[in-house]
Structure 1
Amino acid sequence: MKFFIDTANLNQIKEAHDLGILDGVTTNPSLMAKEGITGEAAITKHYETICNMVNGDISAEVVSVKFDDIIAEGKKLAAIHPNIVVKVPMIKDGVKAIKWFTDNGIATNCTLCFSAGQAILAAKAGAKYISPFIGRIDDTGWDGVQLIEQIVNIYAIQGFETQVLAASIRNSNHIVQCAEAGAHVVTSPLESILGLLKHPLTDIGLAKFLEDAKKMHP
């Protein structure tokens, strides 16, 4: 399973990259705004910086909702760097745009997926990634990880090449559960990734090792 980090913060991207486990980055307009990145020129430069930091797919999201506008915006984003994957919302014009991008050699990530039916449409249109938002599904009282498992199973049965990218990760356990469900990719905040390192028995064991090491070298 590939690990992406869901942020536009360069320090967090660097920390995840330096850990040696980072395969890509996902961003969206909200994450860009959170970092104070506004305006087309600044956003383009920020994407260039991220692409030069991480040798992997970098999802850059369109803000348009009409077919022609999505195409125009997506073409600009794709031209920034070969690693850019155009992130397109799961709407009617979005699916049409994904098909156009696919036919014209531009990789896409279909975002805001909340059902298996939506995932089937994205795969039929040729999306490279489908992003089910499991945390938001959990918020409604349903099981987001179960949706990941369902989509993975459907894709395997039907032979779809679209990769299931589990998004809206809320905690470290979500990452483990998505791995068990067969997700091809998980994108999460740095905190959830680093949370995988933690276990009280590891802390206890390390403290004991260090204590014994001191006895060996008084």
Structure 2
Amino acid sequence: MSLRFFLDSADPLVWEELMPSGLFHGITTNPTLLRQAGQVCRISELRSLSQRALDLGCQELHLQAWGREPEALLDCALGLAELAPGRITIKVPLTRVGTVAGVKLIAQGIPLTFTACYEAPQVLVAAALGARYIAPYLGRIQDQGRDGHQELITMQQCVDRSGSSLRLLVASLRATSDLSRLAAAGMTTFTLSPQLTVALFNCEASEAAATRFDADATLVER
């Protein structure tokens, strides 16, 4: 599978700053990120926000549906999917309610991400149901006192051995070293916070080398 990065933000100002880097395949959001960015979590309000993301080159926009009952969650998901058919991937939590709604979305050909994954057996559920992605929360697993890296490696092994096309959409990364360690273990799909994205480009040795190149180029011109 090819490498995919997703920008984890609901702030259009952040999108405008970071999407032109060409690094990101898409954008992921959720109601919490919308609240933090001062955006209204309402389908009618998300229409213009979604278009803004697509105009900036977002190939896949992941929008999380909300609702405490399966029918409410499904109705919300269908409304979100209609904002840009074929470009929206719907996120639902991997709970009983989320699974009931998710199965119906998959049956209608709507791309689905099961989110809030904490345990390896949940990956098998998502694979069996035919989801496109599952989003394990690395940092939050580690916050529980568990070895998050090993948990995700086990999840990836479950996918690989089952022959599923499911992608682990690794979320809650806290450091660039998390990214490289998990990529070395076979993971190909990651959500990056704006802070982590900036850190990827923040290498003092690279900056020093670039400064030296510029200085040497000036001397050559003389």
Give yes or no for the alignment of 1:77 onto 2:80: yes
Does the 8 Å CA contact 1:14/1:53 hold for their aligned counterparts? yes
- Correspondence list, 1:188-207, <5 A: 188-207=192-211
Which residue in the other structure is 1:63 paired with? Answer: 66
Contact 2:35 2:41 (8 Å CA) reproduced: no
Give the equivalent residue in structure 1 for 2:37: 35
Paired AA for residue 60 in structure 1: L
Aligned 8 A contact 1:131 1:164 in 2 = yes
Of residues 101-110 and 142-151 in structure 1, the stretch that sits farther from structure 2 once superposed is: 142-151
- How much has 1:75 moved relative to structure 2? 0.5
Unmatched tracts of structure 2, length 5 or more: none
- Give the Å deviation of 1:173: 1.8
Question: C-alpha separation between the residues in 2 aligned to 1:36 and 1:79?
Answer: 23
- The answer to whether structure 1 residue 25 and structure 2 residue 27 are counterparts is yes
TM-score by length of 1: 0.93
Q: Which residue of 1 aligns with 2:9?
A: 7
Report the secondary structure of 1:198's partner residue. Answer: coil
CA RMSD of aligned residues (A): 1.6
Rounded to whole Å, the distance in 1 between the matches of 2:188 and 2:213 is 37
Whether the 8 Å contact between 1:148 and 1:181 is mirrored in structure 2 is no
- Give the deviation of 1:69 after TM superposition: 1.1
1:117-162 CA deviation, whole Å, 9 max, x = no partner?
1111112122110000001112222222222221111111111111
Q: Distance in 1 between matches of 2:199 and 2:15?
A: 16
Q: Give the CA deviation at 1:209.
A: 2.5
Quickly say closer, same or farther: Cα 1:19–1:91, change in 2 above 3 A: same
Matched, 1:172 2:176: yes
How far did residue 171 of structure 1 move? 2.1
Per-residue Cα deviation, 1:104-129 (whole angstroms, up to 9, x for no partner):
11111100000111111112122110
- The equivalent of 2:96 in structure 1 is 92
State the Cα distance separating 1:33 from its structure 2 match: 1.1
Q: Give the TM-score normalised by structure 2.
A: 0.91
Superposition pairs of residues 32-181 of structure 1, within 5 angstroms: 32-40=34-42, 41-82=44-85, 83-181=87-185
Task: Tell which deviates more after alignment, 154-163 or 36-45.
Answer: 36-45
Shift of 1:39: 5.0
Counterparts of 1:202-213 in structure 2 under 5 Å?
202-213=206-217
% identity of equivalent residues: 26
| Deviation at residue 53 of structure 1 after TM alignment | 2.2
Q: Which runs of 5+ in 1 are unaligned?
A: none
Q: Residues 212 and 25 (structure 1 numbering): CA distance in 2 closer, same or farther, change over 3 Å? A: same
- Count of residue pairs the alignment pairs up: 218
Distance 1:217 1:184 in 2: 43
Identify which range, 133-142 or 106-115, moves more after superposition.
133-142
Q: Which structure 1 residue ranges, 4+ long, deviate > 4 Å from structure 2? A: none
Pair 35,209 (structure 1): closer, same or farther in 2 beyond 3 Å: same
1:164-214 deviation digits (Å, cap 9, x = unpaired): 100012222222122112223100112212322222222232233233333
Work out the CA distance in 2 between the residues paired with 1:39 and 1:74. 13
Question: Structure 1 stretch 165-174 or stretch 40-49: which is displaced more?
Answer: 40-49
Check the 8 A contact 1:77/1:86 in 2, yes or no. yes
SS at match of 2:145: coil
